[in-house]
Amino acid sequence: MVAMSSLPSKLSARFADVAGVDPELRPATKPQFGHFQSNVALRLAKSEGQNPRAVAQRLVDEIDVADLAEPLEIAGPGFINIRLKPEVLAAEAEQVRTDPANGIVAAEQPQTVVIDYPSANVAKQMHVGHLRTSVIGDAFNRVLTALGHTVVPQDHMGDWGRQFGMLVEQVLDEKVDAASLSLAESEALYKRAQAHFNDDPAFADRARKRVVLLQSGDPETIKLWQAMVESSRQGLLKTYQRLGIKVGLDDFDGESRYNDDLPKVVEELETDGIAVIDQGALCVFVDGFAAPMIVRNREGGFGYAATDLAAIRLRVNEIQADRILYVVDVRQSDHFAQVFDTAKRAGWLPDSVEARHIPFGTVLGADNKPLKTRDGGTATLDSLLDAAETEASPEIALAAIKYADLSNSLIKDYVFDLERMVRTSGDTGPYLQYAHARCNQVLRKAQAEGYAIGPITVLDEPAEQQLALKLTQFGEVVAEVGQSLAPHKLTSYLYDLAESFSGFYEKCPVLKSEGEVRATRLGLVQATKEVLAQGLDLLGIVAPERM
């Protein structure tokens, strides 16, 4: 498939051919200025020491955009105004309407992309921090899949470690059926085990011995460990499903998967001189970091870093990933920088593979501090969803939360303000859902009257043109998000689209118009509905038919 480029990029290319630099097209500030404006003549004039209007005149004489736009106009000190031809806009908008992908074009070189998310730990409930990795990772999964890439989600679940010694002992002491525990019950058991460990030296001793049994593969211990992991997996899956994120049982690829690889990974690092013993621990010193990365601790236990290194080898060699994305809290930035650097030095991460940490900020409460429950505990994800569902239906509550989570630059913290998030006006998820339902309502009425919906042919009104122009940009925005992994560009595009729709709907009667004008306007409504539905779906948000 040939990549379709949007009207602004076509125009920009023609300008750049003549001017030699990017014209930096900006949307026109008023309809009388056309659709776009460029200050390229002013910039060139400055660097060449010439008169800006004269430079603008020269550019206007040489740039050939006659097939796309009306004759270029020079304004004020030397701005160039561009007005697209209505028939060109109409044809492009019509293409968006009739294309099942609504203008999304499959990547010319499809990639295999591993996304590491949400990766919670066994015997702990998902908390508010896991909300973000789930929501963001899911949006990446959807966007990249829509662009034709093969996405392999991997839940790098924390399913191994010394804590299982005391967990198994506690299970045996209490004679509970580990397989049947809910996540909340597992977490409570974890807390009891910890207290027990701290208060009772005999128990602590048994727990330590149990760790050795687990590591040596003692069948009874392994069975109990497995039961705990399995119950956690089921519990996590329930929350994932409640969130509507696309991670299934097959995508769980916990840390324990790498148990057999760890000795090899560490040995290789040591032989290559990349890792060295420091105070009894095997460490990698990476330039620019105050603390070394520990791959094996003093007791001989393998750390978090060792598992991540082993995972990179698997992802590169077996999964043959072109891109590996880690959607993890910003507080783990140093960890990933060190892991990537080490993997490169060890030759496990070739230059042809992009490993990237996508850091995100913290969810804050009304007091601007990390969100807590009323008694000061960490808010569980389920409790947040419960709270949101007291404000709105599950569909709308989820839209509110996901949109808020995705609509700022990811690295920023944001305040979890339910009352604002569920509003159906302003820059919110429910507002977009509402715009979608409104389009649907118009279309239903049109169908009941037997009116023709489309084709989009005549675009005389500025508000129609504005909406059409927005519609034609969808594909490029999605492609951009696939590259930059900045979902807020998609949320702000959809918000602008909904705003353009609202402006159009105010100024242009749809059902009360006639003939080609009515068919065009209904076509615009239909294309808007489809792009909103498709765009919301890429964010993991449901687009209701009625609201």
| Positions in 308-337 near ligand ARG (CB under 6 A) | 308, 326, 328
CB of 328 to ligand ARG, least distance (A): 5
CA distance 491 to 345: 38
Q: Judged by CB under 6 A, does residue 203 bind ligand ARG?
A: no
Three-state secondary structure of 75-91: ECCCEEEECECHHHHHH
Residue 155 binding ligand ARG, by CB under 6 A: no
For residue 255 the two structure tokens come to 């840390």
Size of the site for ligand ARG (CB under 6 A): 9
- Alpha-carbon distance values, 67 to 7, 27, 53, 537 (Å): 11, 20, 24, 35
Please measure the distance between the N-terminal and C-terminal CA atoms of the chain and give it in whole angstroms.
37
Residue 275 CA to residue 266 CA, distance in Å, equals 8
The correct pick among 94, 116, 341, 464 for binding ligand ARG (CB under 6 A) is: 116
Nearer to ligand ARG, 326 or 416 (CB): 326
User: Which residue has the closest beta carbon to ligand ARG?
Assistant: 119
Residues whose CB falls within 8 Å of the CB of residue 418, separated by 6 or more in sequence, listed in order: 387, 388, 391, 400
- For the CB of residue 198, give the shortest distance to ligand ARG in the complex, in Å: 23
Which one of residues 38, 121, 428, 528 is an interface residue with ligand ARG (CB under 6 A)? 121
CB of 113 to ligand ARG, least distance (A): 15
Region binding ligand ARG by CB under 6 A among candidate stretches 101-109, 112-120, 145-153, 180-188: 112-120
**Residues 539, 134 contacting (CB under 8 angstroms):** no
For residue 323, the 8-state DSSP code is: E
Q: Indicate whether 119 belongs to the interface with ligand ARG (CB under 6 A).
A: yes
Q: Pick one of 156, 196, 402, 438: the residue that binds ligand ARG (CB under 6 A).
A: 156
Query: For the window 61-100, what string marks contact with ligand ARG as x by the rule CB under 6 A?
Result: ----------------------------------------
Q: Does 120 bind ligand ARG (CB under 6 A)?
A: yes
Q: Which of 158, 254, 429, 430 binds ligand ARG (CB under 6 A)?
A: 158
Sheet holding 293-296, edge to edge: 275-278, 281-284, 293-296
Place of tokens 């660097």: 47
Q: Which residue has the tokens 């040995």?
A: 267
* 3-state helix/strand/coil string of 213-234: HHHCCCHHHHHHHHHHHHHHHH
As a whole number of angstroms, the distance between CA 536 and CA 330 comes to 26
Q: Which 417-446 positions form the footprint of ligand ARG (CB under 6 A)?
A: none
Residue 459 near residue 522, CB atoms below 8 Å:
no
Options 114-122, 137-145, 209-217, 432-440: segment touching ligand ARG (CB under 6 A): 114-122
Q: Which stretch binds ligand ARG (CB under 6 A): 81-89, 116-124, 353-361, 508-516?
A: 116-124
Binding site residues, ligand ARG, CB under 6 A:
116, 119-121, 156, 158, 308, 326, 328
